[in-house]
């Protein structure tokens, strides 16, 4: 009997400890979730406050009873936001598409074709992965300037259509496809290119999707290179656009309009993420770094 009461105490204590542990965990997780979400809430909120109302608030209000969409109108009319948007879209799509072609061809050559100096070349490729962009940007800037390609899409796109890391990722993936398939295709008289198109690319689709997602995120958020290479607002991408808006657009104090622009710029990627949540997160954990 003595034992039994002792047990009851242990049971109670353990239950209590588990429950408080859970409660504290949820509390802290929720706190950080709020810190993450708050800026998003604030930009949405501010973007629907009217200019007058916002500037009249000495103490910022946490909600508004008279939401307005005039800021969105201002954002699209007072500055060429639609232009920035289209530019970014073109830049993202073209860069991603061209890059895919380049890296698929290279990865295939490394994975399946035999040629002299392959190993040496691949080692050289790998060592390029350690080169930070900051180092090569200087000459690239000079090159593009000398070629007269500033303020052109070509100048924006060309330096970022290859990625050693993605070639590496794809090559690893290609190599996992049984070589027997390749041999069988050769016996059947299937050409290399057709084989690549009909067999390897479909099988490696998950990796390719990963690469596309990562590249789209990278393109949509790229800032440094576009800033160097464009000074004509006609060629600004959204990042440069937002910086331009901050410094010269709307008159400096029209925060609600700025926030409307920020919302418009942020929404596409967030929507993309929410749709492909699993794919994006799996892709990033395989091959993404930021910060």
Partner 1 sequence: MLKKNLKAWLYLLPALLFLGAFMVYPLIDVFVYSLEEGYNSASQTYHGVGLFNYSYVLHDPYFLQAVKNTFILVIITVPLSTILALFISLGLNSIQPLRHAYQTIYFLPYVTNTLAVGLVFMVLFKKTPYSEGMVNLLINWFGGQSVDFIDGPYWAKMFVLCFYTIWVVLPFKVLILTSALASVDENLYKAARLDNTPKWRMFTRITLPMISPMIFYLVITGFIGAFKAYSDAVALFGTDLNAAGMNTIVGYVYDMLYGNSGGYPSFASAAALILFAIVLTITCINLLISKKHVHH
Partner 2 sequence: MKIRLENLTKKFPNRNKKHGEYVIAVNDFDFEIPSGKLIGLLGPSGCGKSTTLNLISGLETPTEGKIFFGEDDVTHLPPENRGVGLVFQNYALYPHLTVQQNIMFPLQNLRGKDKLSKDEMKRRALEAAKLVQIDTLMERKPSELSGGQQQRVAIARALVKMPRVLLLDEPLSNLDARLRLQTREEIRRIQKATGITTIFVTHDQDEAMSISDQIVVMKDGVVHQIGKPQEVYDHPTNLFVATFLGTPSINVFRARVQGEKLYIGEENVLATPGIQDRDVICAIRPEGFLLDQEGPFTLGLDRVEIMGRDTSVVCTHEAAVSEVLRAIVRTDSLVDEEKNTVRFSLLPRKVHLFDPETEEDLPFEV
Residues lying near partner 2 in the complex (CB under 8 A) are found at 3-4, 7, 10-11, 14
Taking the complex as a whole, the smallest distance from the CB of residue 1 to partner 2 amounts, in Å, to: 9
111 touches which of partner 1, partner 2, none (CB within 5 to 8 A by kind)? none
291 touches which of partner 1, partner 2, none (CB within 5 to 8 A by kind)? partner 1
Residue 55 or 205 having the CB closest to partner 1: 55
CA distance 67 to 239: 26
CA distance 74 to 80: 10
14 touches which of partner 2, partner 1, none (CB within 5 to 8 A by kind)? partner 2
Taking the complex as a whole, the smallest distance from the CB of residue 12 to partner 2 amounts, in Å, to: 10
Taking the complex as a whole, the smallest distance from the CB of residue 111 to partner 1 amounts, in Å, to: 10
4 touches which of partner 1, partner 2, none (CB within 5 to 8 A by kind)? partner 2
Taking the complex as a whole, the smallest distance from the CB of residue 24 to partner 2 amounts, in Å, to: 19
* Residue (of 261, 254, 273, 274) closest to 85 by Cα position: 261
Taking the complex as a whole, the smallest distance from the CB of residue 172 to partner 2 amounts, in Å, to: 25
Taking the complex as a whole, the smallest distance from the CB of residue 20 to partner 2 amounts, in Å, to: 15
CA distance 118 to 110: 7
83 touches which of partner 2, partner 1, none (CB within 5 to 8 A by kind)? none
Question: Three-state SS string across 223-262, please?
Answer: CHHHHHHCCCHHHCCHHHHHHHHHHHCCCCCCHHHHHHHH
Residue 16 or 40 having the CB closest to partner 1: 40
Q: Which residue has the tokens 């380049």?
A: 102
Residue 12 or 252 having the CB closest to partner 2: 12
Taking only Cα atoms into account, the Rg of the chain, rounded to an integer number of angstroms, comes to: 26
Taking the complex as a whole, the smallest distance from the CB of residue 278 to partner 2 amounts, in Å, to: 18
Residue 16 or 38 having the CB closest to partner 2: 16
CA distance 280 to 272: 9
11 touches which of partner 2, partner 1, none (CB within 5 to 8 A by kind)? partner 2
45 touches which of partner 2, partner 1, none (CB within 5 to 8 A by kind)? none
Q: Is the separation of the CB atoms in 81 and 264 below 8 Å?
A: yes
Residue 33 or 82 having the CB closest to partner 1: 33
Residue 14 or 186 having the CB closest to partner 2: 14
Contacts of 228 (CB under 8 A, 6+ apart): 137, 141
* Residue (of 219, 214, 121) closest to 166 by Cα position: 214
CA distance 5 to 96: 68
Contacts of 264 (CB under 8 A, 6+ apart): 72, 75, 76, 81, 85
Residue 11 or 253 having the CB closest to partner 2: 11
Q: Is the separation of the CB atoms in 168 and 124 below 8 Å?
A: no
* Residue (of 97, 71, 90, 76) closest to 241 by Cα position: 76
């Amino acid at each position: 009997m003595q034992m039994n009461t002792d047990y009851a105490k242990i049971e109670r204590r353990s239950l209590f400890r588990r429950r408080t542990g859970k409660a504290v965990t949820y509390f802290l997780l929720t706190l950080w979730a709020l810190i993450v979400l708050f800026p998003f809430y604030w930009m949405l909120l501010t973007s629907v406050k009217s200019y007058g109302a916002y500037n009249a608030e000495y103490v910022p209000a946490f909600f508004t009873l008279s939401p307005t969409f005039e800021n969105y109108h201002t954002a699209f009319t007072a500055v060429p936001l639609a232009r920035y948007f289209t530019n970014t879209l073109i830049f993202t799509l073209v860069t991603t598409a061209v890059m895919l072609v380049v890296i698929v061809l290279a990865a295939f050559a490394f994975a399946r074709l035999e040629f002299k100096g392959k190993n040496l070349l691949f080692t050289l490729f790998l060592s390029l992965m350690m080169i930070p962009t900051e180092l090569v940007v200087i000459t690239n800037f000079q090159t593009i300037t000398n070629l007269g390609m500033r303020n052109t899409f070509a100048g924006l796109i060309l330096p970022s259509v290859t990625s050693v890391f993605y070639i590496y990722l794809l090559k690893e993936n290609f190599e996992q496809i049984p070589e027997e398939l390749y041999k069988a295709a050769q016996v059947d008289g299937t050409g290399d290119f057709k084989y690549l198109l009909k067999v390897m690319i479909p099988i490696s689709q998950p990796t390719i999707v990963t690469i596309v997602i990562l590249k789209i995120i990278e393109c949509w958020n790229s800032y440094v290179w576009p800033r160097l290479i464009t000074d004509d607002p006609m060629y600004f991408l959204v990042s440069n656009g937002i910086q331009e808006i901050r410094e010269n657009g709307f008159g400096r104090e029209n925060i609600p309009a700025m926030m409307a622009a920020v919302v418009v710029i942020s929404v596409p990627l967030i929507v993309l993420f929410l749709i492909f949540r699993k794919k994006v997160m799996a892709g990033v954990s395989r091959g993404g770094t930021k910060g």
